[in-house]
Amino acid sequence: MSDRTVEHSTFCVERTYNAAPARVFAAFADPAKKARWFGPEEGAGPVNMDFRVGGAESMSGQVEGGPSYRYDAVYQDIVQDQRIVYTYDMHLNDQRISVSVATVELVPDGERTRLVLTEQGVFLDGLDQPAFREKGTADLMDKLGTTLA
């Protein structure tokens, strides 16, 4: 008998930004721009980023006095100014805690952009929870909005 578990979850985060789709897309595609909003703190964005189909992105760190984490992603589909699809896994203290597929859709809304981020995740062995991931993703999209403002 095993203590291994699997929990599947899908969530969607939507935001509307006062920026054109090209500017929102650039915030994902340009490593310097992404570093401004992506990560647990400002300026802690991806360590490595190869923004192209088949390219990878990674980031790791440690919570002060706490656990280490690692994010490893691969870009599966990119449509300039419209769509980004990537797969990623999260590790906590070198143990995989989840595997996800995320889709970022950028929809023009006049001079603004409606972002729709849909994530389908597999959460492993009770080490992460869908509600935590959804909250963290929503917080990141809010940080993106602040950066774009």
CB 102 within 8 A of CB 89: no
Using the structure block, give the residue that is written with the tokens 């985060």. 13
CB 137 within 8 A of CB 15: no
CA distance 61 to 45: 10
Q: What is the pLDDT of residues 68-126, one digit of tens each?
A: 889 999 999 999 999 999 999 999 998 999 999 999 999 999 999 999 999 999 999 98
The H-or-E segment that residue 130 falls in is helix 130-148
Q: What is the pLDDT of residues 8-67, one digit of tens each?
A: 999 999 999 999 999 999 999 999 899 889 876 655 556 689 999 999 999 888 777 888
CA distance 45 to 58: 9
CA distance 36 to 148: 10
pLDDT value of residue 16: 98
DSSP state of 136: H
CA distance 147 to 70: 23
CA distance 136 to 69: 14
